Chain A
Amino acid sequence: MKLNRRSFLAATAATLTMPGTIDFASAQEKVIRFAMPQDFTRVYTFVTAEYSQGQRDYITLVNERGGINGYRIVADVSDHGNDLPRAIEAYEKAKREGAVLIDPLSTPVARALVPRVLEDKISMVTAFSGRSDAADGTAFPYVLPLSPNYWTQAGLLIDYFRQQDKDLKGKKIVFVHIDTPFGREPLPILQTLSQKLAAGSLILYRDLDDRLTRRARE
């Protein structure tokens, strides 16, 4: 499509004057709506673009194979910039458009949306983010932590060490973390495990500088 100023302005005006027609057209088809307001611009930029690209590729694949029972999946990807008013606006808009799933990919946004999704019965995916206690499906039936959460991640790490070293008695394990609520989330699990496995003293490093954490990871 050749894009010059005239056609751009005409199409812009057309979009602005009849937003209803587009909704109407898509409402005619058999679609399942997923809302994916994610943080493309502020904090989670190191992962969002790739994560979102993967999601959209998979959804395209599913759609091209005929969708789910003839239903096509429509993914509404937008940016919430890790900002609560914007995320809540995106959530309310998705709810109005009949989205069945929301994937904010941000811990603060997921925490703020939990009361709303429980009330509105909209599924929320919290992959690698969100709150760990949402793993209890009886208490949080509409929050779906698809990936290991902060607690299981810590548990798996300790379990791996145990498989490698057989006995963790007296061993020191250093945990370098970012000093935010989600950075401190694994601490109680690590403390419990250190008593349970008698792994001696577990040294816990608090880290106020995110760069240090990254350097430690490398």
Chain B
Amino acid sequence: MLYRRAGLRHTRYEDERQLWPLPFDRGLVVLILVLLVAAPLLVNRLYLVSYLLPWVIWSTAALGLNLLMGGAGQIHLGYGAVMAMGAYGSVHLVRAGVPFEFAMIGGGLISACVGIVFGGAALRVKGLYLAMATLAMQYVVDFVISHVPMISGGTQATIQVPAVRFLGIPVAGDFPTYYVALIICSTVTIFILNVGRTSLGRALAAVREKDYAAEIIGVNTFKFKLLAFWISSFIGGVAGSVFAVCYLRAISPDQFHIELSIQLVAMVIVGGLGSVLGSFFGAALILFAPIVLNNLIGSVADGLGLSISTDLRSHVPLMLYGALIIGFLLWEPLGLAKIYNNLRNYFLVWPFRHARR
């Protein structure tokens, strides 16, 4: 129905290979992009600052992790530490007088350099053992940051992010921070979308499916495993620097603990491994479900005049949140993106259900 394929005749390979061959998909992408760009004028400040901005930043990070976990099949439980290195690296560079644009890339490079060292473990171990190795990275980085006063910023262990400019515009206030995060997120999204249709993406997919089979068909697993860690850590570092500058404005070690890593892994798994759209869906669900459920339970309790205890009131949303995640994964184990995909596939051939792929 909506996703009309009638009348589309590809006469060149480039047409067939484009990111969105269907006009409806292209229209949808443009619409969402326009809505996101116009969001500061459309939505209330509250929703811009406390929903859209974190969503864009967490999605960027989830995209980076998804390239590694969904794209190359390497589990990573230390992505929060990767973001921490990017955040601390770029903030220290900014404080040393480096412009923010370069500091962001510098933070990304620091993350990539350290990330590739721990990623080296992936050359020897797989699955749960790699999970342990990356978990070790999380704790090592946490320890180093909080025990080196030069990095953490002394006994208070809080560093204020100085005022920075991005391409000549001061990154302060609600609009510029949002737009900087959106620009970075769009760039990363376009990059990840394109990875899928290059030789790099295909090599990563081969490594994901079976690394020695990949070796047999001529894919250098040594190179591509390390490359996956390098790219993913670089994106994580850049996301961390955006996180610090646009959202936190003051960084301390406890903001990048294991909780952040688990949150990101949950986003990737709930959203859908290897799916770009899934990273956005997953980030939205994991970030906002607790907030929305809390506000909902709160307003229902207030509206009914129920005097339920604050303990119950704050734990009921948690139970619902858990049920929500389990429910979504039972409904579609391949993640939220797959739910959208099922819907899209249904409409793609509607009303000729027998033609469904």
Contacts and interface: CB of A to CB of B under 8 A. Distances in A.
| Bound pair (A, B) | yes
Interface of A: 1, 3, 8, 11-12, 14-16, 19, 22, 40-41, 49, 52-53, 77-79, 81, 83-86, 88-89, 91-93, 96, 107-108, 111-112, 114-116, 131-133, 180-181, 184-185, 187-188
A11 B303 contact: yes
A181 B51 CA distance: 29
B259 interface: yes
A203 to B, nearest CB: 19
Given A3-B304, A85-B50, 19 more contacts: A8-B304, A11-B300, A14-B303, A19-B299, A40-B315, A41-B315, A81-B318, A88-B50, A92-B45, A92-B46, A111-B158, A111-B252, A114-B158, A115-B160, A115-B249, A180-B254, A181-B146, A181-B252, A185-B156
Contact of A81 (B249, B290, B298): B290
A3 B51 CA distance: 34
Contacts of B315: 40-41
Contact of B300 (A12, A107, A115): A12
B304 A92 contact: no
Contacts of B349: none
A12 B46 contact: no
Contacts of B299: 15-16, 19, 22
Given A1-B305, A89-B291, A181-B156, A78 B50 contact: no
A49 B311 contact: yes
A184 B155 contact: yes
9 contacts: A11-B300, A12-B300, A22-B302, A85-B291, A86-B294, A108-B254, A111-B250, A131-B156, A133-B156
A114 B160 CA distance: 10
Interface in B148-167: 152, 155-158, 160
Contact of A86 (B49, B290, B304, B310): B290
B311 A40 contact: yes
Contacts of A83: 259, 290
Contacts of B318: 41, 81
Contacts of A15: 299-300, 302-304
Contacts of A185: 155-156
Chain B interface, >50% SS class: helix
Interface string B301-344: 01111100011011101100000000000000000000000000
B54 interface: yes
A19 B160 CA distance: 37
A127 B126 CA distance: 46
Q: How large is the interface on B (under 10, 10 to 19, 20 to 34, 35 or more residues)?
A: 35 or more
B287 interface: yes
B248 A84 contact: yes
B252 A40 contact: no
Given A15-B299, A15-B300, A79 B317 contact: yes
A11 to B, nearest CB: 5
Contacts of A1: 304-305
B345 interface: no
Contact of B249 (A91, A116, A132, A184): A116
A112 B54 CA distance: 14
A11 B152 CA distance: 50
A11 B299 CA distance: 10
A186 to B, nearest CB: 9
B146 A92 contact: no
A122 to B, nearest CB: 14
B201 interface: no
A89 B314 contact: no
Contacts of B194: none
Given A15-B303, A92-B46, A108 B146 contact: no
A96 B157 contact: no
Contacts of A78: 294-295, 298, 314
Nearest to A82: B259
A211 to B, nearest CB: 18
A86 B61 CA distance: 18
Interface in B75-100: none
Contact of B158 (A131, A180, A187): A131
A89 B50 contact: yes
B116 to A, nearest CB: 28
Nearest to A11: B304
